[in-house]
Chains A and B, each alone.
Chain A
Amino acid sequence: MDFSLQPDTPEISAFRKEVREWLAENMRGSEPLRWSARWSTRENDEEYQFRRQLANKLGQKRWLFPTYPPQYGGAGLTLDHQFVLETEIDRYGLPLGSIFYTLARLVAPAVLKFGTEEQKLEFLPPMLRGELAVWQVLTEPQGGSDVANCLTKAIRDGDDYVVNGQKIMVGHHLPPDYVWTLVCTNPAGKRHENLGWLYIPANLPGITVQHLHLMMGIKNAVFFDNVRVPAKYLVGGENNGWKVANSYLELEHGGGGSVSENPLFKRLIAHCQKADFDGKSLMEDQDVRDVLADMLIDLDVQRLMGLRNFWHRYVRDPHPYGGPQFLYFQRMVRLRNSERVQQILGFDALAPDGSVHEEADFEYTVRSGPGWLHGGGTLDTDRLIIARRLGLGRPSQETAPTTV
């Protein structure tokens, strides 16, 4: 076994050097910025512009989706290269997948796997160049995590689909260029056999976006009122949407794995070493040390589950239940850490600190305990998927779909 994160061959070492130098050059000016989390209550325009431009520059280098085929705007590089990019940019506290607020990282694999050649050539290059903000628009008010319970209708009329319906809890504070939407293409059809995916230009007439101010930041309701979407935007074929959804959701459900560092623990240790109570640093208090021990164990298990999933993706051998297991465990760890931070800091844990990246902020940590119990499903849907993958009470086990 080898857990080292930098198995660099000479070729990869050279690439790492190139990426590091490029980032040193292109991250200049970001020093005063404090990254907000992907969904955030404190996004600001200066930061947004920086991240968006960075995505553009990375996209032009073809480093945003490095392993994608060149004809679609990728660099045709290996997962080793992607790994270098992910770890190098992580040194700046940013994950490669959410450089700016787009879910293209989830949408592009689906288009690559299920799109026609024409669709790939048209849709992928601008997405891979980092020019587009793409929203994932799945949840409906009545459906919630029952994604297949989809009432937004897309009825074929000549060369178009006419779309009517409502989605909720999607997107972020700035408008999208495209929305990636699950629609019902056959209202009379059977469950799971009546769905389709539309990649919809967001500027089409009839689309309205309304902000929702939520615990973890701004999300939106999206209304479709007789929106005429040209049929070329249907990806994966009519009534074939559930198959697309299955493969696509595995990435959202943790199957992609993770190699990034969690900045929270280090900051908490630094705080405890500095903070004085009763003439002693908090770090000398046995109760505090016990809370930190539990937290460290949780975070290490989470890190290793993420690493395991990354490796399974890397060798193209999906872990049978690792994706939803990681997601479920991460939610529970966030919830426990939410209380741990409060136990150690007292009221200070409820006051945001704008001088650090949001992911390392204690108030954000407290909020994201209950706030991240859902998103990409709920903790209960995570467990439901694990149970099916294990085949509990069933004659056979569901297999994990391969991710791209």
Chain B
Amino acid sequence: MDLKLSDEQSMIKKVAADFLKAEAPSYVITEWFQEKRAFIPELYKKTAELGWLGMMLPDEYGGGSASCTDCAAVFEELGHGPLPGPYFSSGVLAAEIILAGSSPAQKKTLLPEICNGRSVVIPALSDDPIQWGPRSVQTRLTKTVTGFVLNGIKRFVYDGDAATSFICAARTETGGVVLALVDRNAPGVSVKPVLGFMIGAAEVRFDDVAITADNFVGDWGVVERALIKALPILCAYKVGACQEIFEMTNEYTCTRVVFGQPIGRFQRVQDHCVDISIHLDGARWITYETLWKIDSGIEAAANVHQAKAVASEAYYQSCNFSHMVFAGPGTDYKHPLMAHSVAAHTLYQYLGTPLYHKRAMVDALYPRQSSAA
């Protein structure tokens, strides 16, 4: 048993923390959130130079052959920001989908471009915003004389506006789900940012978009295989975010004086900090154990769903408890808590809500007998 990061992982983590401090300090990130700027191309290029895009991909495709825990160490620091941008959606999730589902030729052309940051490949999976998972895929793939066409509207595609291409999930005429690579500039593709209490979402329309057979990168099973390695990285990002909220909230209880004393002396206020600690540490250790299982080759499907549920809930609740402590000032879009609050709500929905993943966790552990009925 050894519950600390290796020296090398601690070093990677420190590099990421220093990078964030220098390139994207909290007040800058808060500004980006205010302006709804979810993609900063110059910064994205720098992270490519640091090897953070496609970090877990094999060397031969331009990746760093990093373990999940190595990669999580970086993303935990990015979560402190919370740094917006397609670092996860393209650099982790799309990379893992292509690695799991593409032909060797596709991998050779696509993956190095993801790693060097020239391609930003964004998964556009669900159509129905209420649900997530294969059942919510409604975009249709229809056969034509020369190939196929795609038709449908993906209403909330995370990091959609940063895309150079999409991995679009579509339903075939026989009812299956396939994944198709679509160039952002292909005729019939349109992207419109969705504004609101969220960051980075865009509506992506596919109107009679022509597809050829070499655009396919697999079926829904490929997404599920990719998510096993990808989701815990997103969870680590949320753990870092919770840690940041925990620290800034605790500090505020020492400096903010009301009724003649620091508010940290009020037990009601202390309780909020205690609740953040529970959410933070729950998310941290569930995530870490999941990372360890994956890196050790231990079956972790249920753990991955559990981690996603716990970390999403933790980030969301940590923001809420922090809002209880910061009160009015914390609701100012210029306050760092607001960036977190917006990110937490977005990531609560992204790739399935806690309820979805809790159910998937139980289904993975105790499959339903009546599923056939």
A residues less than 8 Å from B267 (CB atoms): 380, 383-384, 387
Please encode chain A, from 269 to 297, with 1 for each CB lying within 8 Å of some chain B CB and 0 for all others: 10001000000110110100110111011
A residues less than 8 Å from B264 (CB atoms): 387, 391-394
Q: Is the CB of B1 within 8 A of A392?
A: no
Supposing A269-B366, A289-B359 touch, asked if A387 and B274 sit within 8 A by C-beta, the answer is yes
Minimum CB distance partner of B272 in chain A: A392
A residues less than 8 Å from B250 (CB atoms): 390-392
Supposing A290-B359, A304-B289, A387-B267 touch, asked if A393 and B253 sit within 8 A by C-beta, the answer is yes
Contact with B69, one of A1, A293, A321 (Cβ below 8 angstroms): A1
Minimum CB distance partner of B295 in chain A: A1
Q: Is the CB of A294 within 8 A of B254?
A: no
Q: Check if B309 is an interface residue, CB within 8 A of chain A.
A: yes
Q: Which of B136-144, B212-220, B278-286 is near enough to bind chain A?
A: B278-286
Q: Is the CB of B270 within 8 A of A308?
A: no
Q: Is the CB of A383 within 8 A of B285?
A: no
A residues less than 8 Å from B262 (CB atoms): 393-394
Q: Is the CB of A293 within 8 A of B274?
A: no
Q: Which of B2-10, B14-22, B115-123 is near enough to bind chain A?
A: B2-10
Supposing A3-B1, A314-B1 touch, asked if A304 and B285 sit within 8 A by C-beta, the answer is yes
* Complex CA–CA separation, A314 to B278 (angstroms): 22
* Complex CA–CA separation, A390 to B289 (angstroms): 25
B residues less than 8 Å from A325 (CB atoms): 274, 277-278, 281
* Complex CA–CA separation, A210 to B361 (angstroms): 50
A residues less than 8 Å from B46 (CB atoms): none
Minimum CB distance partner of A396 in chain B: B254
* Complex CA–CA separation, A276 to B173 (angstroms): 40
Supposing A1-B2, A1-B291 touch, asked if A284 and B309 sit within 8 A by C-beta, the answer is no
B residues less than 8 Å from A329 (CB atoms): 278
Q: Check if A5 is an interface residue, CB within 8 A of chain B.
A: yes
Contacting B at CB under 8 A, from A304-333, are: 304-305, 307-308, 311, 314, 321, 325, 328-329
Supposing A294-B358, A384-B267 touch, asked if A311 and B281 sit within 8 A by C-beta, the answer is no
* Complex CA–CA separation, A307 to B2 (angstroms): 11
Q: Check if B261 is an interface residue, CB within 8 A of chain A.
A: yes
Q: Is the CB of B1 within 8 A of A281?
A: no
Q: Check if A177 is an interface residue, CB within 8 A of chain B.
A: no
Q: Is the CB of A281 within 8 A of B292?
A: no
* Complex CA–CA separation, A283 to B367 (angstroms): 10
Least CB distance, A254 to chain B, in whole angstroms: 13
Supposing A289-B359, A383-B270, A386-B274 touch, asked if A300 and B369 sit within 8 A by C-beta, the answer is no
Q: Is the CB of A391 within 8 A of B1?
A: no
Please encode chain A, from 343 to 387, with 1 for each CB lying within 8 Å of some chain B CB and 0 for all others: 000000000000000000000000000000000000010011011
A residues less than 8 Å from B277 (CB atoms): 321, 325, 386, 390
Least CB distance, B118 to chain A, in whole angstroms: 34
Contact with A284, one of B261, B288, B358, B368 (Cβ below 8 angstroms): B368
Q: Is the CB of A297 within 8 A of B366?
A: no
Minimum CB distance partner of A395 in chain B: B254
Q: Is the CB of A393 within 8 A of B261?
A: yes
Contact with B370, one of A2, A284, A300 (Cβ below 8 angstroms): A284
Q: Check if B362 is an interface residue, CB within 8 A of chain A.
A: yes
B residues less than 8 Å from A307 (CB atoms): 1, 3, 285
Q: Check if B310 is an interface residue, CB within 8 A of chain A.
A: yes
Contact with B292, one of A3, A321, A391 (Cβ below 8 angstroms): A3
Q: Is the CB of B1 within 8 A of A387?
A: no
Q: Is the CB of B269 within 8 A of A293?
A: no
B residues less than 8 Å from A206 (CB atoms): none
* Complex CA–CA separation, A328 to B262 (angstroms): 24
B residues less than 8 Å from A231 (CB atoms): none
Contact with B1, one of A2, A292, A321 (Cβ below 8 angstroms): A2
Q: Check if A4 is an interface residue, CB within 8 A of chain B.
A: yes
Supposing A308-B285, A311-B1 touch, asked if A293 and B358 sit within 8 A by C-beta, the answer is yes
User: Interface majority SS on B: helix, strand, loop or mixed?
Assistant: helix
Supposing A1-B292, A329-B278 touch, asked if A283 and B3 sit within 8 A by C-beta, the answer is no
User: Interface majority SS on A: helix, strand, loop or mixed?
Assistant: helix
B residues less than 8 Å from A380 (CB atoms): 267
Minimum CB distance partner of A83 in chain B: B1
Q: Check if A205 is an interface residue, CB within 8 A of chain B.
A: no
Q: Is the CB of A283 within 8 A of B366?
A: yes
* Complex CA–CA separation, A307 to B292 (angstroms): 14
Least CB distance, A307 to chain B, in whole angstroms: 8
Contacting A at CB under 8 A, from B252-307, are: 253-254, 261-267, 269-271, 273-274, 277-278, 281-282, 285-286, 288-289, 291-293, 296, 306
Q: Check if A301 is an interface residue, CB within 8 A of chain B.
A: yes
Minimum CB distance partner of B270 in chain A: A387
Please encode chain B, from 331 to 348, with 1 for each CB lying within 8 Å of some chain A CB and 0 for all others: 000000000000000000
Contact with B289, one of A3, A280, A281 (Cβ below 8 angstroms): A3
Least CB distance, A302 to chain B, in whole angstroms: 9
Least CB distance, A269 to chain B, in whole angstroms: 7
A residues less than 8 Å from B289 (CB atoms): 3, 304
A residues less than 8 Å from B273 (CB atoms): 386-387, 390, 392
Q: Check if A141 is an interface residue, CB within 8 A of chain B.
A: no
* Complex CA–CA separation, A311 to B4 (angstroms): 10
Least CB distance, A176 to chain B, in whole angstroms: 35
Contact with A297, one of B288, B292, B296, B306 (Cβ below 8 angstroms): B306
* Complex CA–CA separation, A390 to B246 (angstroms): 10
* Complex CA–CA separation, A104 to B291 (angstroms): 38
Q: Is the CB of A297 within 8 A of B310?
A: yes
Minimum CB distance partner of B363 in chain A: A289
Q: Is the CB of B271 within 8 A of A383?
A: yes
* Complex CA–CA separation, A255 to B283 (angstroms): 20
B residues less than 8 Å from A390 (CB atoms): 250, 273, 277
Q: Check if A7 is an interface residue, CB within 8 A of chain B.
A: yes
Q: Is the CB of A292 within 8 A of B254?
A: no
Q: Is the CB of A393 within 8 A of B274?
A: no
* Complex CA–CA separation, A305 to B280 (angstroms): 11
* Complex CA–CA separation, A4 to B298 (angstroms): 11
* Complex CA–CA separation, A194 to B61 (angstroms): 70
Known pairs A284-B368, A394-B265; list 9 more (Cβ under 8 Å).
A284-B369, A290-B362, A296-B306, A296-B362, A297-B282, A308-B285, A384-B270, A387-B267, A393-B263
Going nearest first, the 9 A-B pairs with the smallest beta carbon separation are: A393-B264, A392-B264, A304-B285, A393-B262, A387-B270, A293-B358, A393-B265, A301-B282, A2-B2
